[in-house]
Amino acid sequence: MTGVTGTVLGYGLAVPGARTAADLLTMSVGEHPAVDPAALIGRKGLRYKDRATQLALCAAGDALTDAGLTGGEDGTGVPGDDIAVVVSSNLGNVDTVCRVTSEIAAGGSVAISAMDIPNASSNVTAAEVAIRYGLRGPNLTFCNGGTSGLDAIYWALVLLATGRAQRALVIGVEPDNAQTRALTGHDRILDGAAAVVLGRPGAGGRARVSLPVRAPDTASCAAQLDAHGTPGVWFPPERSTMVGPLVFDLWSAHGAASGAAGVMQCVAALGWLETARPGPVYAMVSGAEASAAVAVAR
């Protein structure tokens, strides 16, 4: 184990059917109304933003407020210069990229809109979050496959440990649309965002989060968490075959969460711990090349 850990200072959700962390543990399987960003944060500033960015802006705003940060200089004493943004998304701008390609095939570059330029770059979501909330610290976007959400947590903790930031806003987001469904082969994608604000150990907060570990397979990944004690519950990866009394499946109520999964698990862990259920919470995500896991505890 390394000494690199952190604390969760706040969270936000823009997930169909879940407003609070505890909702993620109790929501029913089935259709829930889509998140309406304009209803949550107003129409201003949403025009031309892609769906992933709109969802992320909603979750980010809630997380910052929950953590007592409203961006920029404020009463918490943490200036925007010291707040990092770390986004995880695999599919975020696939819709724009595919649509623009079709438009070029149909009518050449004269037929496309310059308003799509920011959305053609995969870091658009992190950039727009920084702009809206005045966050001028390091700004990172991980598109790292199935482990990406916990990878974002990992790098947020690294940024805090090296002093590059005092707070890190971590957002996992995936949009549901024709392009992302076709590309992944899933019949439904999350169409939501989850966010946490992390600080250094000792900064107070809702829970402690360990530095995520990576391993080639789920068993060796799980073994690396042993030092954190016997888990109160396991949140398994999506489409996992893990079963047992300690396994709680978060995923049946949602579309494929992909790059949002690891961050959603951390939010769900807060719900678990704050409803007085036993910890620590172990959570794991899996990608094509590796699995990653984290321990969240009081």
Partner 1 sequence: MLSLPITGTGAVASIGHDPAEIFANLCAGHGGRSALRGFDAGRFGAQHLFEIDDRPAPGIDEPGRATRFLLDAVAQAATDAGLGEDLSRIPIVVGTGLRELRSAELWWRDGTPFDADRLAFGPALRERFGALDTWTMSNACSASLYALACGADLIELGLAEVVVVAGVDVVTESMFGLSDRVQRQPPGHVLPFDARRRGTILGEGAAAVVLRREARPGDRVHGRLRGVGVNCDAHHATAPDLAGVTGAIRQAHDRAGVTPDEIDLIIAHGTGTPLNDRAEASATAEVFGVAAGRPLITGIKSLTGHTSGSAGVLSLVVALRALAEGVVPPIANLTEPLAEGAGLRLAMGAVVPHHGVTAQVNGFGFGGVNAVAVVGAA
46 binds partner 1 (CB under 8 A): no
Range 138-157, binding partner 1 (CB under 8 A): 138-146, 148, 151, 155
Helices and strands, number each (H, E), in the chain: 9, 10
Q: How many residues bind partner 1 (CB under 8 A)?
A: 71
Residue nearer to partner 1 on the CB measure, 102 or 230: 102
Residues 54, 28: Cα–Cα separation, whole Å: 25
Q: From 31-39, 175-183, 191-199, 278-286, give the range in contact with partner 1 by CB under 8 A.
A: 175-183
The DSSP symbol for 18 reads B
Contact string 181-200 vs partner 1 (x = CB under 8 A): -xxxx---------------
Q: How far is the CB of 52 from partner 1 (least distance, A)?
A: 12
Nearest to 239 by CA among 279, 282, 284, 178: 284
Type and span of the H or E element at 173: strand 167-174
261 binds partner 1 (CB under 8 A): no
Does the N-terminal peptide bond of residue 280 adopt cis geometry, omega within 30 degrees of 0? Answer: yes
Specify which residues 5 forms β-bridges with. 210
Residues 211, 207: Cα–Cα separation, whole Å: 13
Q: How far is the CB of 39 from partner 1 (least distance, A)?
A: 24
First-to-final CA distance of the chain? 18
122 binds partner 1 (CB under 8 A): yes
120 binds partner 1 (CB under 8 A): yes
Residues 32, 129: Cα–Cα separation, whole Å: 26
Among 80, 149, 172, 175, binds partner 1 (CB under 8 A): 80
Q: From 25-33, 193-201, 213-221, 222-230, give the range in contact with partner 1 by CB under 8 A.
A: 213-221
Contacts of 32-38 spanning 24+ positions with Cβ under 8 A:
32/253, 34/191, 35/191, 35/192
Range 271-290, binding partner 1 (CB under 8 A): 287-290
Among 13, 15, 135, 207, binds partner 1 (CB under 8 A): 135
45 close to 132: Cβ distance less than 8 angstroms:
yes
Among 22, 40, 46, 131, binds partner 1 (CB under 8 A): 131
Range 2-41, binding partner 1 (CB under 8 A): 2, 4
Residues 36, 21: Cα–Cα separation, whole Å: 19
116 binds partner 1 (CB under 8 A): yes
Nearest to 257 by CA among 178, 177, 172: 172
Among 22, 214, 232, 247, binds partner 1 (CB under 8 A): 214
Residue nearer to partner 1 on the CB measure, 17 or 80: 80
Among 159, 207, 260, 294, binds partner 1 (CB under 8 A): 159
Residue nearer to partner 1 on the CB measure, 27 or 123: 123
